[in-house]
Amino acid sequence: MNEQVERIREEAAHAIAAAASPAALEALRVSTLGKKGQVTELMKTLGTLPPDARKNAGAELNRLKDELAAAIEMRAAALAGAELDARLAAERLDVTLPPRPHADGRIHPISQTIDEMVAIFGEMGFVVAEGPDIEDDFHNFTALNLPPEHPARQSHDTFYLAGAEADIAPKLLRTHTSPVQIRTMMTEKPPIRIVVPGRTYRCDYDATHSPNFHQIEGLVIDRTSHMGHLKGCLIEFARAYFDIPELPVRFRPSYFPFTEPSAEMDIGCSRAGGELRIGAGGDWLEILGCGMVHPKVLANCGIDPNEYQGFAFGMGIERVTMLKYGIPDLRTFYEADLRWLRHYGFLSIDTPSLTGGLSR
Ligand code: DAH
């Protein structure tokens, strides 16, 4: 009996220490301590021994059993640790690796410009508001002080939706972002300070007009904002957007039904030698319309014009994008030509900010 115990002890200890996997270890456990394992089988023979020898052999066998169980447990823990180490090594993530911008994807210049504008106006305390592309006559025209017979309606070349003729409230594709002024003033209480970037539509197509284009609208309503604030805000914007601190700016009297007084803002440029240069003297380029919100528009939205006042502005996005990035033809914005996008598009890491300009 003693010899057998010693042999098992040696052989099993060896095999357990060498077990290469949890499955191999389990097989060893079964073949030694299992129901038909070597140690169990020996236990069964104890009854055939004389009482004295039985006592000694029994104690010896129990010791062997405990030793093997402990050895198996130790080996199991070691195998589990090794497995974890291997997984950790295989799944290692190098967090010090710099990001690799996607080689092909680009931000469209229109999206980039909207992001830049929102960053600039955001720094001034404006928040972004949105409205539907499919508008009704009331929000797009009437509430903005363009009643049905108003001649300015004609200049908008509106796309009407089918059935609009018969409808009392005809649906149309918004011709400007100004209806979001109305939607905001009817649902929010002053003070209001919003910018509204978005799609706009007019039935018009040539080198400088597209049936679908983009505008950004601005609206400030409170008790005290005046024309001086309007000018300061828009001058600050233009200089930040074009990244030219001394950019010449002028305001010309103009007419919009929804503002009084109304103005258009020009930026200084030069066209010497047929080349357009922003910021150089001599010439002027119109970039936006603006004015003090008309008292009738405030009243149309349920805001008391004796208590509140403010200013608004609206700007075509394509035009200032073309000016800033030297894009010659408006139509190319919508052609989805990959070569054009690779050339004029932006990387996702070109994040705009008020002071940073563009780190290209
Ligand atoms: N909605 C005008 C247009 O599309 C632009 C505009 C002019 C908007 C003056 C304004 C504004 O908010 O005050 O031509």
pLDDT > 70 fraction of the chain, expressed in percent and rounded = 95
- Return the pLDDT at 359: 39
Q: Does residue 358 surpass a pLDDT of 50?
A: no
198 and 62 both lie in a single domain: no
295-316 burial code (b ≥16 CB/10 A, e <16):
bebbebbebeeeebbbbbbbbb
Three-state DSSP state, 232: helix
Q: Does residue 357 surpass a pLDDT of 60?
A: no
**Residue 360: which pLDDT band, with cuts at 50, 70 and 90?**
very low
211 and 72 both lie in a single domain: no
Query: Tell me: the pLDDT tens digits for 178-196?
Result: 999 999 999 999 999 999 9
The CB of 158 under 6 Å from ligand 1? The reply is no
Query: Tell me: the pLDDT tens digits for 281-302?
Result: 889 999 999 999 999 999 999 9
17 and 165 both lie in a single domain: no
The CB of 126 under 6 Å from ligand 1? The reply is no
> How far is the centre of ligand 1, averaged over its atoms, from the C-alpha of 336 (Å)?
28
> How far is the centre of ligand 1, averaged over its atoms, from the C-alpha of 40 (Å)?
94
Q: Does residue 164 surpass a pLDDT of 70?
A: no
> How far is the centre of ligand 1, averaged over its atoms, from the C-alpha of 315 (Å)?
7
24 and 148 both lie in a single domain: no
192 and 73 both lie in a single domain: no
| Domain that residue 86 falls in | 2-90
Counting the structural domains of the chain, the total is 2
**Residue 340: which pLDDT band, with cuts at 50, 70 and 90?**
very high
> How far is the centre of ligand 1, averaged over its atoms, from the C-alpha of 51 (Å)?
111
Calculated CA dihedral for residues 138, 127, 322, 208, nearest 10 degrees:
0
The CB of 139 under 6 Å from ligand 1? The reply is no
The reply to whether 307 falls in a domain is yes
22 and 153 both lie in a single domain: no
The reply to whether 120 falls in a domain is yes
Query: Tell me: the pLDDT tens digits for 265-276?
Result: 999 999 888 888
335 and 280 both lie in a single domain: yes
Tell me which of 19 and 97 has the higher pLDDT.
19
The reply to whether 99 falls in a domain is no
Count of other CB atoms within 10 angstroms of residue 265: 24
The CB of 308 under 6 Å from ligand 1? The reply is no
The CB of 315 under 6 Å from ligand 1? The reply is no
The CB of 314 under 6 Å from ligand 1? The reply is yes
The reply to whether 328 falls in a domain is yes
Closest CA to 60 of 14, 5, 3: 5
The reply to whether 350 falls in a domain is no
Kindly report the protein residue whose alpha carbon is nearest to atom 6 of ligand 1: 314
19 and 119 both lie in a single domain: no
> How far is the centre of ligand 1, averaged over its atoms, from the C-alpha of 324 (Å)?
21
Query: Tell me: the pLDDT tens digits for 41-73?
Result: 888 888 888 888 888 888 888 999 999 999 999
261 and 171 both lie in a single domain: yes
260 and 196 both lie in a single domain: yes
38 and 145 both lie in a single domain: no
201 and 285 both lie in a single domain: yes
